[in-house]
Structure 1
Amino acid sequence: MGEQFRWSPNEEEMGQMLLQAVFMEDQVTLEHLIKQKANLESKDETGATPLHIAVTRNMPQTVSWLLRHRANCAAKDGDGYHALTWACIKGHLQVVKILLEANASIEEAASSNGKTPLSLAAERGHMEVVELLLAKQARVDQTNADGSTPLHAAAHQCEVEIVAFLLARKSMVNAADGEGWTPLMYATNSPAAVSDGPRPELGERKVQVDGVIGRKSTLELLLLHKADVNAQSIDGLSPLIIVSAHDRPHAAKQLLEAKAQVNMTGAKGQTAMLMAASNDFPTVAKTLVLGNADVNQANLKGESPLSVSEQLGFKDVADLLRNAGAQPPKGAKKKKGRK
């Protein structure tokens, strides 16, 4: 007999083969590699381990197999995400269950973005995952690194079903993050609230709530649960000031109807009207005028809504302000004429 061929890859090669076998769900190769003592914590170029790959590709059987062979569910990839982080981001319910049974940390935030598993699931609308995490004793108001809560996260993405669920679970509607922003502020600053079309705001998702007539949007739900419409951030921003920097006249009207102070100022003298004027939102400006906004109120630099809109060439806003009684700010230079 000739000399028998002996297969003897080094540790790094076995690690790469293990990663590939997980990706391909090649159970035969996995069993062979584990007998050869392949390193279950081998990482690819992104820092992902075999467990990360199985989790992101929604392979519950492979996840269970890796955990039975003592894969580390607390290992982090290059972005600082552990396996449960990815399972919650992807909304892979069965994988989340398996990881929780393996005692994955339900509270640990991802080191890259500081968000907890519950907030990551909430902001992506993964209702079943949110329900499971809370059933497994995740705190409904557990904070992220910036002090925000799952309600902040869901409100910012207008995940209205999640917002309704968290509020029903007594999430604190006026909780403030590290900069003083409340969930209502996150909702008024939401990029998800405006869609394409002639009336973009009205395309926002709504939900039916028991005991309430009509379907409600995220902003309406927060107001229904007594969100403070006049809360101010550390920089003095209010929900109305924030929403006026977006083309959301309907939301501005709702805040005014809820008794938002139309002339409240931020730390730099910003007002809702100045925000609407500087962003060329005539419909928002009109809503504020109807709400008795002071069209001449200037910021700390002495800039008024009219001076800002004229300087930026926003004719529609400037015309609206003049018709509402806006005057050039005091001290403005007049053009010299003949004596």
Structure 2
Amino acid sequence: MCLLSHFIANGEKRSCHLDYSHSTFFLNYFTNVVRYILQAGKSPHGLAPFLVADKDGVTPIHIAACGNGKILQMFIDAVSATDDVFGLAQDKRGRGPLHYAASKASVESVRLILDSQILGLPVDAKDSCGLTPLMCAVGVPFAQGVDVCRLLARRKEMSVSARNRDGLSAIHLAAIANNLPVLKLFAEEMGRNVEVFDNENRTPLHYAAEQGHYEIVQLLLSCGARSTTIDKYDASPAHYAAQFSVSCLDLILAKNNYVEIKDRENRSCLMWAVCAGNVEVIEYLVRKTSPDRQARDNHGFTALHLAAMVGNENICKVLVRQGWNLSERDKLDNTPLHLAAGRGHTDVVRFLVTAGANMNEKDAMDRTPVYWACFGGQAHTLYCMIKELGFEWRTVEKYVLD
């Protein structure tokens, strides 16, 4: 790190441990040293001192932008017409001083940079990940982050619609970060459309639902986000909510009169909840939507098949108690018992048998659960099936010869 960067950085660190009676003295001290270095002229590389980068590409102007407005102003005043600040003040991630100021929610630094014509830093400049300063600011949890976002968004409103390399906008990122004040800024104060799509055709509502951000979901729905919008997998926000949040799911389904949408695999919200192991959501959906116990996805799996496959004994108990049939078959005539045995889910096998599943059921190729346990290499499960549960292992598989 160059001398000037080292000095500013150390000054910032030390000031955190000083009482306020000494802070003015040290601020003046560091400012005087910076002024002295600036007056010394160009570095041996022919660069202005505030543009000399360390191994990570971080320059003194990056560090000053993090919140030291007085020194940042000194750097701005020292910029000449030949200093390529935009080209040289970029770290290895492609971030400039404005990215740093936004990430630290420094209102003063952001305003200084935006108001400086000689710096020539675009408000919507993107780093190597496609992130603009506004996108960096929406994830900041500090109260002043809203003011920074307002400054950046008002300076160039199109920056609200800019996308990173994953197609995420600042609105998406605000929803993911659970940043309600910033989302209100975009949706209510600025009147921006909240139904915007990323590279996977997901909206901010999809992400808020997946994260379980109740207030964000509530705001997005009130601002026109559709509860039935599907992504590239034909999954709706309700599918994502079903994995983690019953409260968000209820908000979304209420907008659609509790009518469920199936995804590309023909799986319902209930099936997503089963795969995620969310008992609360399953019981809620059984109570609210009266789901078809024989409903199948594109592979012929019922909710009980899926629970057996993922090995969730508790979910299997809930589904059986709620009326799911132990003997339902998928497209290859596998029962839930076949699937649990083949994957080595011993506790699920034990429960299904105890609940009444037929131990000798055969699939479309006359294979029993014991065969599936052998085929899957599930030695412990096989041992329990034979020794503890009494499965018949002397079975003959039928082969159909062409």
Distance 2:78 2:241 in 1: 59
The letter of the residue matching 1:230 is: Q
Write out per-residue CA displacement over residues 119-169 of structure 1, whole angstroms, 9 at most, x where no aligned residue: 21111111110111111122222222211112110112x322222333444
Judge conservation of contact 1:155–1:184 (CA < 8 Å) in 2: yes
Please name the residue that 1:48 is paired with.
131
State the distance in 2 between where 1:42 and 1:222 align: 46
In the alignment, structure 1 residue 297 sits paired with structure 2 residue 377: no
Could you tell me which of 171, 174, 181 is aligned with 1:94?
A: 181
Q: Which residue of 2 aligns with 1:222?
A: 285
Q: 2:268 aligns with which of 171, 174, 182?
A: 182
Are positions 1:16 and 2:96 aligned together? yes
Task: State the secondary structure of the residue aligned to 2:309.
Answer: coil
Q: Does 1:105 align with 2:172?
A: no
Residue number among 304, 309, 313 corresponding to 1:245 in the alignment = 309
Instruction: Report the Cα distance in structure 1 between the residues aligned to 2:373 and 2:284, rounded to whole angstroms.
Output: 34
Give 1:294 shift: 2.9
Equivalent position SS for 2:96: helix
**Cα 1:180–1:320 shift into 2, 3 Å:** farther
1:273 deviates by: 0.6
* Conservation of the 8 A alpha-carbon contact between 2:386 and 2:393: no
Deviation at 1:28, TM superposition (A): 3.8
TM-score, normalised via structure 2 length = 0.69
Q: CA deviation at 1:96?
A: 0.8
Letter in 1 for 2:382: K
Report the Cα distance in structure 2 between the residues aligned to 1:124 and 1:29, rounded to whole angstroms: 32
Greater relative CO, 1 or 2 (CA 8 Å, sep 6+): 1
Q: Residues 296 and 326 of structure 1 are in contact (CA less than 8 Å); yes or no, is this contact kept in structure 2?
A: no
Q: Where in structure 2 are there 5+ consecutive unaligned residues? A: 1-76, 90-94
Change in CA separation of 1:84 and 1:329 when aligned onto 2, cut-off 3 Å: farther
Question: What secondary structure does 2:247 align onto?
Answer: helix
Kindly provide the CA deviation profile for residues 236-295 of structure 1, in whole angstroms up to 9, marking residues without a partner as x.
111010001133223212222332232222223332111111122233223322443232
How far apart are residue 62 of structure 1 and its match?
0.5
Structure 1 window deviating more from structure 2 (235-244 vs 163-172): it is 163-172
Match for 2:153: what amino acid?
A: L
**Matches of 1:23 and 1:322 in 2, distance apart?**
60
Give the one of 110, 127, 141 matched to 2:214.
127
CA distance change for structure 1 residues 259 and 174 in 2, over 3 Å: closer, same or farther? Answer: farther
Letter in 1 for 2:198: A
Could you give the per-residue CA deviations for residues 106-125 of structure 1, whole angstroms, max 9, x where no partner exists?
A: 222221x4322112111111
Give the C-alpha shift of residue 69 in structure 1: 0.6
Range 237-246 or range 16-25, more displaced: 16-25
The equivalences for 1:130-145 within 5 A come to 130-145=217-232
Give the CA deviation at 1:220: 0.4
Percent of aligned positions with the same letter in both sequences? 23
- 1:232 touches 1:238 (CA, 8 Å); kept in 2? yes
Report the structure number with the largest CA radius of gyration: 2
Q: Is contact 1:306-1:322 (8 Å) kept?
A: no
For 1:253, the aligned partner's letter is K
Alignment CA distance shift 1:187-1:28 (3 Å): closer
Distance, in Å, in 2 between the alignment partners of 1:6 and 1:54 is: 26
Q: Structure 1 residues 152 and 7 mapped into 2: Cα distance closer, same or farther (>3 Å)?
A: same
| 1:295–1:321 contact (8 Å) kept in structure 2 | no
* Greater Cα offset, 273-282 or 175-184: 273-282
Is contact 1:118–1:133 with CA below 8 Å preserved after alignment?
A: yes
In structure 2, distance between residues paired with 1:284 and 1:244 = 6
The answer as to whether partners of 1:173 and 1:227 remain within 8 angstroms in 2 is no
> Is the 1:286–1:320 contact (alpha carbons within 8 Å) kept by the matching residues of 2?
no
1:64-75 equivalences under 5 Å are: 64-71=150-157, 72-75=159-162
